[in-house]
Amino acid sequence: MLDFIFLTGAPAVGKTTLAKELYKRLGGVYIEQNGVPEFAIPAYVRDEGEYEERVCWGCMLRQAEYFRSLGLHNIIVLDFDDIRAREIPLLFKGQRFMMLRLVSSDPEQIKVQMIRRAGNEGGLYDPDMAFKINSLLQSRPLLPNELCLDVAGKSREEVLDEAAGLAGSFVPVTEYEYELGDEKNYYSWVLSRGLR
Look at the domain 4-190 and name its fold: Rossmann fold (3.40.50)
Q: Which residues are paired to 101 by β-bridges?
A: 8, 148
| Distance separating alpha carbons of residues 85 and 72, to the nearest angstrom | 22
The 3-state DSSP class for residue 17 equals helix
- pLDDT score at 125: 65
Residues of the chain with pLDDT > 70, as a percent, come to 92
Q: Which residues are paired to 30 by β-bridges?
A: 76
Q: Which residues are paired to 103 by β-bridges?
A: 150
Q: Tens digit of pLDDT for each residue in 170-194?
A: 999 999 999 998 888 888 777 655 4
Average pLDDT in the 155-171 region? 96
Sheet with 4-9, edge to edge strand ranges: 29-32, 75-78, 4-9, 97-103, 146-150
Does this model's pTM top 0.75? My answer is yes
Q: Tens digit of pLDDT for each residue in 67-101?
A: 999 999 999 999 888 899 999 999 999 999 999 99
CA dihedral 144, 90, 33, 19 (to 10 degrees): 30
